[in-house]
Amino acid sequence: MPLQDGLAKPQRTLAFSAIAIATFVAVLDGAIANIALPPITADLGIEPVDAIWIVNAYQLAVTMALLPLASLGEIVGYRKVYLGGVALFTAASLLCALSASLPTLVAARALQGLGAAGIMSINIALVRFVFPQSLLGRALGYVAMTVAVSSAAGPSIAGVILSVASWQSLFLVNVPIGLLTLLIGHRTLPKTERSGRRFDVRSALLSAATFGLVISGVNGLGHAEGVSLALLQIGAGLAIGIAFTRTQLSMPAPMLPVDLLRLPVIALSAVTSICSFSAQAIAFICLPFLLHDTLGRSAAETGLLMSPWPIATAFAAVLSGRLADRYPPGQLAAVGLFVFAGGLLALALLPNDPTDIDLIWRLVIAGFGFGIFQTPNNKVLIASAPRERSGGASGIQSTARLVGQSMGTALLAVIYGLVAAGPNTAALFVATALAAAGILPSALRRFEPSVGSIEADAAPAKTRV
């Protein structure tokens, strides 16, 4: 039975609301825990070094489960995995709020991360079935805007909640939101075709070990006392990754989407995404140090001065989504990378005593360029895959984001260790180079929606907008 090319209104609006709300809280909870660590540490009577696991447990669970859950979505249907992820995330949020010790809180955070992986692994795949092909770029722009706003609002929301309530409230607020999302999603999210194959447990374990060890090791490079252990983890992860890749090469629909990565347009989209998120991570971490320690801005001023970047990204993501439905998305993404690299270079070349305006216009350019790039790049990645492999493409996109952020963090740690004078400026030059490296490959991409997917499957049953 052919699938419709998207849903009709108002079901489409409600279905996307369920996707956007869950994505917002999943991204939000990856950021707010950092703000909550001091009160959690005091309340539970634990050491700050141990409290880091409250953050790491969430990140590692998300990273290790992305590809297995994307594969599961193709097998049992994206709707089931998404709603299951929301349900687990909601229940785990309640467990976080009820935790009275570090081990129980860390375990609850790991479960919360597993639920978030169910949301983030196939949210873009679901969007492909909610919106018609003609509006896919616009829809992905809304997703990018949701992520940008959530990332920007995370510290502020956490600060407001903690100013009037306990740290448990940060997790309790997810419960009614999650229940509302489940209600809306159950009624409106589309059912998708199932692949009919079995879930490959062995591949899931190899995938989890590969990404868990590598990401954990990369994050550990930032701690001088644990460099040997970090390198050992990375080496073990890469060795397992080689074995994992070999097992995937002969599979028709592998969990590690090597079949999709053989397509140059998807491989280039993934690599440019990794580079862009690496550049963003470097800038996001080093800029507060530059503003506060070098330029003498207060903590409050630093927070306010960082706001123009995500605001510009959110605005640009929606704009570029509309443009990506009209113009070649590969070339549009190249323009975004060019603007992004220009903004980063302008930040690296800041004068010694810049005014707030000097800072703001540079941050706006960088954030605007990043937003212009992300939406068309995601459209190329997801729409170039066959429709039945949308889960694999969505998994590539989410994994590329996390790998890029971790790689950027590790690079910054190396820069701080090697550069004594002006490390933040050096870091911004490196970020500029990473953004600029993808301009030409992005511009040369030849994008065509996957033949035989939406066009062939949905032609008899298109939904008029």
Compute and round to an integer the Cα radius of gyration of the chain.
Answer: 21
What pLDDT, on a 0 to 100 scale, did the predictor assign at position 265? 86
Give the confidence band of 452 by pLDDT, cuts at 50, 70, 90. very low
Same domain, 213 and 180: no
- Listing DSSP states for 122-134 in one string gives THHHHHHHHS-GG
Question: Who wins on pLDDT, 38 or 241?
Answer: 241
Same domain, 432 and 360: yes
Same domain, 84 and 111: yes
Tell me the pLDDT tens digit for each residue of 206-241. Answer: 999 998 898 888 777 766 556 788 889 999 999 999
Same domain, 228 and 282: no
What pLDDT, on a 0 to 100 scale, did the predictor assign at position 447? 66
Report the distance separating Cα 268 and Cα 280, nearest Å. 18
The answer to whether 16 touches 131, Cβ cutoff 8 Å, is: yes
Report the distance separating Cα 185 and Cα 181, nearest Å. 6
Report the distance separating Cα 174 and Cα 158, nearest Å. 12
Three-class SS of residue 5? strand
Report the distance separating Cα 288 and Cα 3, nearest Å. 48
Query: Which range of residues forms the domain containing residue 423?
Result: 257-465
Report the distance separating Cα 67 and Cα 73, nearest Å. 10
Same domain, 398 and 262: yes
Same domain, 298 and 397: yes
Same domain, 121 and 103: yes
Look-up: residue for tokens 């503003």? Answer: 291
Same domain, 317 and 398: yes
- Listing DSSP states for 147-193 in one string gives HHHHHHHHHHHHHHHHHHS-THHHHHTHHHHHHHHHHHHHHHSPP--
What pLDDT, on a 0 to 100 scale, did the predictor assign at position 347? 94
Assigned token pair, 175? 């419960």
Same domain, 5 and 65: yes
Counting the structural domains of the chain, the total is 3
Average pLDDT for 417-438:
88
CA atoms within 13 A on the CB side of 326: 5
Same domain, 350 and 408: yes
- The CATH code of the domain that includes 341 is 1.20.1250.20
Average pLDDT for 32-53:
80
Tell me the pLDDT tens digit for each residue of 144-160. Answer: 888 877 876 776 777 77
Question: Who wins on pLDDT, 360 or 388?
Answer: 360
Same domain, 227 and 326: no
Q: Is the pTM of this model over 0.85?
A: no
Question: Who wins on pLDDT, 297 or 340?
Answer: 340
What pLDDT, on a 0 to 100 scale, did the predictor assign at position 244? 92
Same domain, 187 and 295: no
Tell me the pLDDT tens digit for each residue of 377-412. Answer: 888 888 888 877 888 888 888 888 888 888 887 788
